[in-house]
Structure 1
Amino acid sequence: MIEPSPVKKEPIGKLISCVYRTQLKRMSRSLGEYGIGGGGQYSFLKAILMTPGTTQDQLTVKLKFDKATTARSVKQLEAAGYIKRSADPEDRRSHRLYPTPKAVEFQPVLQALLDESNARLTRDLTPEEEDQLIVLLQKLNLED
Structure 2
Amino acid sequence: MTTESTLSLVLHDVARLMRKRFERLTRAAGLTRAQWQVLSKLSMHEGIYQKGLADLLEVEPVTLVRLLDKMQARGLIERRNHPTDRRFFLLFLTPSAHPLLQFMRSIGEQTRLEAMADFSPQEYDQLQQYLERMREHLLTACSLPPDEATAG
Shorter chain as normaliser: what TM range? 0.7 to 0.9
**Per the alignment, in what secondary structure is the counterpart of residue 92 of structure 2?**
strand
Task: Tell me the number of residue pairs that the alignment of Structure 1 and Structure 2 aligns.
Answer: 136
Q: Would you tell me which structure has more strand in proportion to its own residues?
A: 1
Whether the 8 Å CA contact 1:28–1:36 is kept in 2: the answer is: no
Matched, 1:38 2:39: no
| Change in 2 beyond 3 A, CA 1:94/1:24 | farther
Q: Would you tell me which structure has more helix in proportion to its own residues?
A: 2
**Per the alignment, in what secondary structure is the counterpart of residue 98 of structure 1?**
strand
Identify the match of residue 66 of structure 1 among 59, 65, 71. 59
Whole-Å separation in 2 of the counterparts to 1:83 and 1:56: 12
Structure label with greater radius of gyration:
2
Q: CA deviation at 1:45?
A: 0.5
| Deviation string, structure 1 residues 74-124 (Cα, Å, up to 9, x no partner) | 333333321112222344333211111111233322221111111112213
Is there any run of 5+ residues in structure 2 with no aligned partner, and where? 143-152
Matched, 1:16 2:11: yes
Is there any run of 5+ residues in structure 1 with no aligned partner, and where? 1-6
| Letter of the 1:59 counterpart | L
Deviates more, 1:21-30 or 1:129-138: 21-30
| Letter of the 1:77 counterpart | M
Q: CA deviation at 1:69?
A: 4.8
Whole-Å separation in 2 of the counterparts to 1:75 and 1:136: 39
Whether the 8 Å CA contact 1:36–1:80 is kept in 2: the answer is: no
Equivalent residue, structure 1, for 2:120: 126
Report percent identity of matched pairs.
Answer: 26
Whole-Å separation in 2 of the counterparts to 1:95 and 1:119: 38
Matched, 1:87 2:81: yes
**Per the alignment, in what secondary structure is the counterpart of residue 125 of structure 1?**
coil
| Change in 2 beyond 3 A, CA 1:92/1:113 | same
| Change in 2 beyond 3 A, CA 1:34/1:59 | same
| Change in 2 beyond 3 A, CA 1:82/1:94 | same
Equivalent residue, structure 1, for 2:48: 54
Identify the match of residue 21 of structure 2 among 7, 18, 26. 26
User: What root-mean-square deviation, in Å, do the aligned CA atoms of Structure 1 and Structure 2 show?
Assistant: 2.5
Q: TM-score, normalised by structure 2?
A: 0.73
Q: TM-score, normalised by structure 1?
A: 0.76
